[in-house]
Amino acid sequence: MSEENKHRATAAAILPLVGGAANVTSVAHCMTRLRLGLRDRSLVQEEALTALPAVMGVVDDDTYQIVLGPGAVARVTPEFEALVAAERAAAPERPAAPAAPAGGSDPVSAEELAAQGDALRAERKARNATPFKLFLRRIANIFVPLIPALIGCGIIAGLNGLLVNLGRLPGLTPALAAIASGFMALIAVFVGYNTAKEFGGTPILGGAVASIIVYAKVADVEAFGQHLSPGQGGVLGALAAACLGVYVEKRCRRWVPESVDVLVTPTVTVLVSGLATLFGLMFLAGEVSSWIGDAADWLLAHGGAGAGLLLGGLFLPLVMLGLHQALIPIHTTLIEGAGFTVLLPILAMAGAGQVGAALAIYLRLSRNTSIRTTIKSALWPGFLGVGEPLIYGVSLPLGRPFVTACAGGAFGGAFVGLFNQLGTDVGSTAIGPSGWALFPLLDGSHGLARTIAVYAAGLLVGYVAGFVATYWFGFTKTMLAELNVAPDAPAPASPAPVATEERVRERV
């Protein structure tokens, strides 16, 4: 089967399992996930969906997210959109197909763990629907579409740096530098465009206001007793400027007569927001951006190992709470200022802990072929930084192994943080990838070879620490008696209770 036919087949298999085209309200994708807006999530046949070979896992959040992995999701999404459009055109009135009734499952099988993961996701989603966390998701929606360009330009920048260091192809390296730097020079414009789009304004007006920040002639403007610099305030200034533009635009739409709206509203929006940006927001956002960079440098220079321990150990719980989205503009600000973010390689150690924990679970539950099969299918995506299948399908439902996996991430983060403290910065020129997929994006203060060596050693520490912690402390005797049996073996004398977070805490 050709690649095109394979992705079309995947899309065709997914569509009926999410309730058909009539149940789909929106389609989008990020780096690894197909994100669907669904009218009725009870129509999703999740057990059959997760059984598809191309599906690595699902996440039930503000959108229904199907994990397909990097590369595949960008090819499946347009096929899925085409199928949705075709089905709606053929039978727009057809109701969505009902979900198949869920059957029973063995209490110690991978299906049981998946059910427990589903219950935990539902509880987490209910807790995460707070105004603050919903706001963070909107901020993430602004920056996530920029990730492919950040990755592509970051890899080109790394290749260019390698060629420069080796003294190779001197006629090509200036061109590669221009290709790699062009997007970052104008990233504020894209942030402004996405901000206006996300908050209900006219996207091009958001981009127009944000473009003021990168215009070279802003150096002639004086604010707060000093001349501005092109790019001052960066993505934070663009975010604030576009938000102000949306507010001004909405006020104008409310009061300006329709006959002159097309002339007055864009003019007033750009003028008012532009003046506020030049004489206030650029300076203030520049100060905040500088503070973020200085704070990150100070944190890792003075408490690198301890900071790495906390960041690596707590990152996955932050993801569970939806608070990790607050880090996206911080990463982008660091990349814009220093050329790389020193936080991402430390946070990537959380995935290494999960991989190490999964290997330990695989050995400890030697008789449970169902769970071992799940681990085998999810392990390689885990090495590449796609951790959802391991988290939601294995470690989180088991409870205690999730905690020991976080411990592995903490040790890996402490290792990388220690080298930052000793003066060897380990950074990433883009956000999004993790695990082995982060190697092409690495950059640092002491050459690429040392940066790669430290990051690779950090991953190894995370793998080993996650494995050791889970193998020796990840299971109680009761858990082993309950879980380390073949799927077709008789259930334990005491039946497994319904999956809740209280049950997970009991296992911890």
Residue-level pLDDT at 284 = 92
More confident residue, 506 or 31: 31
Residue-level pLDDT at 347 = 94
What value does the mean pLDDT take over residues 246-254?
A: 93
Residue-level pLDDT at 364 = 93
Is the pLDDT score of 463 beyond 50? yes
Mean pLDDT over each residue of the chain, to the nearest integer: 84
Is the pLDDT score of 500 beyond 60? no
Buried b (16+ CB within 10 A) or exposed e, 329-364: bbbbbbbbbbbbbbbbbbbbbbbbbbbbbbbbbbeb
Handedness of CA 302, 308, 309, 313 (dihedral sign): positive
Residue-level pLDDT at 403 = 94
Q: Which residues contact 361 (CB under 8 A, 6 or more apart)?
A: 371, 375, 394, 395, 398, 401, 470, 474
**36-88 tens-digit pLDDT:** 989 888 899 988 898 888 887 787 777 888 988 777 888 898 899 999 988 88
Give the residue ranges of DSSP H helices in 25-71. Answer: 46-50
Residue-level pLDDT at 473 = 94
**412-444 tens-digit pLDDT:** 999 999 999 898 999 998 887 889 989 988 988
More confident residue, 133 or 383: 383
| Catalytic residue status for 30 | yes
What value does the mean pLDDT take over residues 402-411?
A: 95
Q: Determine contact, residues 458/345, Cβ cutoff 8 Å.
A: yes
Residue-level pLDDT at 135 = 81
Please calculate the CA angle 320-325-327 and round it to the nearest 5 degrees. Answer: 115
Q: Determine contact, residues 117/392, Cβ cutoff 8 Å.
A: yes
**189-229 tens-digit pLDDT:** 999 999 999 999 999 999 999 999 999 999 999 988 889 99
User: What's the pLDDT band for 98 if we cut at 50, 70, 90?
Assistant: very low
